[in-house]
Chain A
Amino acid sequence: MSDQAVETQDLVREYKGGVKAVDGVSLTVESGGIFGFLGPNGAGKSTMVRMLTTLLRPTSGTAIVAGHDVMKEPGVVRRRIGVALQDAAIDPYMTGRELLRLQGVLHGMKRAECRARADVLLGRVDLEDAADRRVGTYSGGMRRRLDLALSLVHEPVVLFLDEPTTGLDPVSRVTLWDEVRRLNVEHGTTVFLTTQYLEEADQLADRVAIIDGGQIVADGTPKALKAGIGHPLLSVVAAEGSTPDDVARVLAGFGEMVPGAREGGAAVRLPGGSTAMADAVRALDDAGVRFAEIDLAEPTLDDVFLASTGRHLAGSDDATA
């Protein structure tokens, strides 16, 4: 077995009219981890997943998934991957158990095997009580958990989750995160997850790639990506009797200034981290500059996104709130 769960070379998908939804993506996802594919709506995440899961033919480039070429051996790839796509399309008129058994049949499993596997998975995602109810009566979180279970019927090597928590309430989201983590740790399943939520990528993924306009703009561990942005940002708001310029004059001695980052005050990147913050406070005091607010912010993936694209990740604030 290959060490790479996913490996793409210059992958391109062009739609009618010449729009390139995915524009030359080369990506390597190693086996065993949780990979977060982060990007705003329409960045090309779903197109990418559809190509990797054999649902869409790439216009050019190659993609090896679970050790096999998606174009040359789609059948083998399909046997080795699990897929839970965006807006979990589940028949509202079927019960969870029926759907799980059908999924087993689709994977060529024997009757008894389907039954046994359905029971195990229902227990795993905590849907035993709802197993014989029609899916139409499920809550959003229950549907996503069922969708997850469906993608696990054949014990896939690589699991693709396309925006698994979009539209879920915070509690259901955390439940699903735990499930994905457990899957990764206990069963060693590689997870390829797309998301538009920074927090989700930050919490779950041990590696993140950021896609924008069909191209990868950043790729690495969340920690390395954030470190790449630079040092924590100290921002200070001037109080009555002092001006933002007073604040700025003092802070300028501590590192690189970030103009316009804080209204009514100033902000600086602190190479010394939180220890340097104490020095800065003292210096402000010594200079007689009065301040109303002070805070130290670690770089976030949004800063990474901002630095790579010049834009904030749309809706990231309310989405993670």
Chain B
Amino acid sequence: MKGLAVSLGLAGRNLLLVRRVPSVFIPSLIMPLFILIATSGAFHGIGALPQFAGASYLAFTIPMAATMGAGFAGINSGMTVARDLEGGFFDRLQSSPAPRVALIMGPMFAALVRSIFTTTIVFIAGLIGGVWLPGLLPLLLIYGFALLFGASASCWAIGVALRARTIQAAPIMQLVVFLSVFMSVAYVPLSALHGWLGNVAKFNPVTYILTASRSAELTGSIIWSETWPGLIAGFGLLILLGIFALAPLRHLENR
């Protein structure tokens, strides 16, 4: 219980920093919007492929943009931890009696709050572009998948930060998250993928998260057969990366 209060306190601090530093705040706002507009605008024509079955390409892109926005928020939480480790603020946290887990949960909560925010922005942009919201349950499911991916990305980035202990590691955090989305079904459904990417995407958990989220967006209902692989992939990813982030907490004092 005390861990929760500390986590929330730290999350509040992270969100405060995001709000007060324009060079962090503005990209976090623009990034998912850019992905949505640039992807749906530049590749509009691809929606004519038979595999899309007439779906709107803008609607098709919404879950991907929401996922990317959440991933971006997750990366940023890791970057904050890296900066705190480098600058010494983390020493302050570490020398306090706060539960160690809270040092990870705090930044992760902040990433989740930001993910809710960016996902909402993506939906609003979709509305402006003429894509109506799916039903309440599908909508919540899309938020849920974005949060799952955001939390996973956050665990990944924090895990890297705790090991590297320097902000120089930021490109590694970013690259892996970006590639994990782009090397899935970011632009077209799995059935339309050619060659190497088809094989990579099949084993990429993000493929199943995006497919499930997309199914909710495009059908406006929850089709169980397309949802459960996404849930397994999402929670599996979160558990694995959660372990990745938690493991170095035991060895914080060994450096």
A interface list, Cβ under 8 A from B: 50, 53-57, 74-75, 78-79, 81, 83, 85-91, 93-94, 98, 102-103, 105-108, 134, 150
- Selected from A50, A74, A87, A91, the residue in CB contact (under 8 A) with B13 is A91
Given contacts A54-B95, A56-B253, A87-B88, contact A106 B17 (CB under 8 A): no
Bound form: Cα–Cα A86–B95 in Å: 14
- Selected from B20, B89, B253, B254, the residue in CB contact (under 8 A) with A89 is B89
- Selected from A55, A88, A90, A106, the residue in CB contact (under 8 A) with B6 is A106
User: Separation in Å of the B92 CB from the closest CB of chain A?
Assistant: 6
Q: Mark B1-34, 1 if CB is under 8 A from A, else 0.
A: 0100110011011001100110000000000000
User: Separation in Å of the B77 CB from the closest CB of chain A?
Assistant: 15
A53 touches B16 (CB 8 A): no
B171 within 8 Å of A (CB atoms): no
Given contacts A89-B87, A102-B9, A105-B6, contact A83 B17 (CB under 8 A): no
Given contacts A56-B253, A57-B254, A89-B88, contact A78 B95 (CB under 8 A): yes
Residues of A within 8 A of B92 (CB): 83, 85, 89, 103, 106, 150
Q: Mostly helix, strand, loop or mixed at chain B's interface?
A: helix
A106 touches B96 (CB 8 A): yes
Select from chain B the residue with minimum beta-carbon distance to A160: B95
B91 touches A55 (CB 8 A): yes
Interface residues on B, range: 20 to 34
Bound form: Cα–Cα A71–B90 in Å: 19
Select from chain B the residue with minimum beta-carbon distance to A77: B97
Residues of B within 8 A of A85 (CB): 88, 91-92, 95
Residues of A within 8 A of B89 (CB): 89-91
A93 touches B9 (CB 8 A): no
Bound form: Cα–Cα A105–B6 in Å: 6
Closest 6 CB pairs of A and B: A89-B88, A105-B9, A57-B253, A106-B96, A78-B97, A89-B89
B93 within 8 Å of A (CB atoms): yes
Given contacts A55-B95, A78-B96, A108-B98, contact A102 B88 (CB under 8 A): no
Given contacts A57-B253, A89-B88, A93-B21, contact A108 B95 (CB under 8 A): no
Select from chain A the residue with minimum beta-carbon distance to B93: A106
A106 touches B98 (CB 8 A): yes
Add 7 more A-B contacts to A57-B253, A79-B97 (CB < 8 A).
Answer: A81-B95, A85-B88, A89-B89, A89-B92, A93-B21, A102-B12, A103-B96
- Selected from A86, A87, A108, A150, the residue in CB contact (under 8 A) with B2 is A108
B21 touches A108 (CB 8 A): no
Select from chain B the residue with minimum beta-carbon distance to A78: B97
A94 touches B16 (CB 8 A): yes
Bound form: Cα–Cα A131–B88 in Å: 22
User: Separation in Å of the B95 CB from the closest CB of chain A?
Assistant: 4
Residues of B within 8 A of A79 (CB): 97
B194 within 8 Å of A (CB atoms): no
Residues of B within 8 A of A56 (CB): 253-255
Bound form: Cα–Cα A17–B17 in Å: 38
B39 within 8 Å of A (CB atoms): no
A83 touches B13 (CB 8 A): no
Given contacts A93-B17, A105-B9, A107-B96, contact A55 B253 (CB under 8 A): yes
Select from chain A the residue with minimum beta-carbon distance to B18: A93
Residues of B within 8 A of A89 (CB): 84, 87-92
Q: Mark B79-118, 1 if CB is under 8 A from A, else 0.
A: 0000010011111111111100000000000000000000
